Amino acid sequence: MLEMTLNGLEIQVEPGTTLLEAANFYGIEIPTLCYDAGLSPIGACRLCLVEIGSPDRSRLVSACTFPAQKGLEIRTHSKRVINARKLLIEMYLATCPSSKTIQDLASKHHVTRVRFKQKHDDCILCGLCVRICEEQMQAKAIEFIGRGHELRISTFFDKKSEDCRHCGACMYICPVCQARCQGPQEKDAVCNACLNLEPPCLEEFEDAMCYMDPCVACEQGHEPRKGCSQRKEGS
Amino acid sequence: MRQLQEQKASKEQNNNNASNNHSLVTMLHQIQETYNYLPENVLRELAKEKNIPLVDLYRVATFYSLFSLTPKGKHKILTCTGTACHVRGSEKVTEEISRVLGIQPGETTEDGEYSLEAVNCLGACALAPLVVVDEQYHANMTPAQIGALFNGVRKSTCQDKESSHCHCSSVAVGSKEKS
């Protein structure tokens, strides 16, 4: 067993565990976008940054790829880490504002503005789809193509892949594919109010009727969504 | 006819690969040497032969700028745009080559004879500005010298218009070397 200090707490972990696994085991939540317990970590999204080392000589490392070491000092929620994390979330918001996962992250970490030029990409290059296709589905139909700012995810010669079995795992695991609900807000606005709110349908129906997970802050004070009333008529 | 040649060449290629267990990049290099680019059907055959996922080949081929997925010209012209070459006026040299050949860096002439590449550094900064024609290094180039280098090329191209096999550039390169 390796002895480490996690946020001032003396902990013991098995050799070979990563800092992220250790923190999760001790109940400390670290946000991630490119991590999945069933896939090999690649440290692409950098959201799991933690500070290691003594305060005067500390550095930020990605917790999902950094292996536990004896006597390591880890701070998961220091000022430096939180600032770095908020900046990252802000940049992700600027890249993919249509993602529910990223909007939720922004709300959770109190990122209330975007200072960067707004883009509307549909990929954050986390590599989850590439890894699930190769490691879990054994298909290897998609890969990172190109390099640098031209990096993208595609199939062989951008053609319909013969290796793809249409299992849909890549879409299932994608953190950006799940779109946020498009309420009365602007497309590029920071939603920021998803947490701690009940679905508006609950007042009218016994169960939540929205086809989306409750991300309904934008519906508050507005008439119920069309889909809800249609379903009511049908039932 | 050309297809047959290609097929034959690809078979030879595959036989070579089967005997030597080269790394992926080396295999792609060999294909590029044979065809001047990486044809899709050859990559497919290679993947089948070596049991490599197709996308892996595409990933590596797109990662390195040295590999081309579209046909390149018979003669490769590289101009260095590294710091030392840039300071000594490689920009003007590249412009001049572009003007003479009528193509921009990264393009190939319509007749498929020349392709021009602007590369970042050729590692011979003492020879700046540097132009490489078919792996022959031409040091201390100036726009004026480019004119002399390609003058012969254009003339012989005009003369050889009738014949499909044009070796004019090798003549031009040779004459440059002698001078």
> What confidence tens digit (pLDDT) does each residue in A47-106 have?
999 999 988 899 999 999 999 999 999 999 999 999 999 999 999 999 988 888 888 888
Conformational region of residue A24, where left means phi above 0, alpha means psi within -120 to 50, and beta covers everything else = alpha
Q: How many domains does chain A have?
A: 3
Across the interface, of B53, B55, B62, the residue whose CB is closest to A146 is: B62
Superfamily of domain B75-178: Glutaredoxin (3.40.30.10)
Contacts across the A-B interface (CB distance below 8 Å): 36
What are the percentages of helix, strand and coil residues in chain B, rounded to 5?
A: 55, 10, 35
Q: Which residue from A116, A57, A121, A53 is spatially nearest to A88, judged by alpha carbons?
A: A116
- Same domain membership, residue A223 and residue A182: yes
State the smallest CA–CA distance between residue B34 and chain A in angstroms.
20
User: In this complex, which of B40, B55, B69 lies closest to A141 when CB atoms are compared?
Assistant: B55
Judged against a pLDDT cut of 60, whether residue B169 lies above it is answered with no
Task: Let me know whether A167 and A184 are in one domain.
Answer: no
In a shared domain, residues A6 and A55: yes
Please tell me whether residues A20 and A54 are part of one structural domain.
yes
Give CA B141 to chain center in angstroms.
19
Distance from CA of A146 to the nearest CA of B (A): 5
A114: which 2 tokens?
Answer: 């975007």
Identity of the residue in A142, A146, A147 whose CB atom sits nearest the CB atom of B55:
A142
Please check whether residues A158 and A50 belong to one and the same domain.
no
pLDDT of residue B176: 42
Token couple for A85: 């994390």
Minimum distance, in Å, between the CA of residue B149 and any CA atom of chain A = 35
Q: Are A187 and A132 part of one and the same domain?
A: no
Give the closest of A147, A157, A162 to B58, CB-based.
Answer: A157
Q: Which residue has the higher pLDDT, B143 or B157?
A: B143
Give the model confidence (pLDDT) of B27-84 as tens digits: 999 998 888 889 999 999 999 988 888 999 999 999 988 888 888 888 888 899 999 9
Distances (CA, A) of B26 to A193, B20, B33, B78, B161: 54, 11, 10, 21, 36
**Domain residues of chain B, as ranges?**
2-63, 75-178
My answer on whether A87 and A195 are in the same domain is: yes
Q: Which residues of B touch A145 (CB under 8 A)?
A: 55, 58-59, 62
Interface probe for B, chosen from A134, A140, A143 (most Cβ of B below 10 Å), is A143
Percent of chain A at pLDDT above 90? 54
Residue A133 DSSP label:
I
Looking at residue B106, what DSSP letter applies? T
Look at residue B160 and tell me whether its pLDDT is greater than 60. no
> Residue B97's Cα: distance from chain center in Å?
15
Assign A142 to helix, strand or coil.
coil
Search chain A and give the residue with CA nearest B62. Answer: A146
Q: What is the CATH number of the domain that holds A34?
A: 3.10.20.740
**Does residue A87 share a domain with residue A73?**
no
Instruction: Decide if A163 and B63 are in contact by the 8 Å CB cutoff.
Output: no
Q: Please give, rounded to a whole number of angstroms, the shortest distance from the CA of B142 to a CA of chain A.
A: 33
> Do A88 and A11 fall within a single domain?
no
- Residues A216, A220, A226, CA angle at the centre, nearest 5°? 70
Domain with A20, as residue range(s), is 2-77
* A109, A136: one domain: no
**Domain identity same for A67 and A88:** no
Q: Are residues A112 and A202 in the same domain?
A: yes
Q: Which residues of chain A lie closer than 8 angstroms to B43, CB-CB? A: 156
User: Cβ contact (<8 Å) for A140 and B59?
Assistant: no
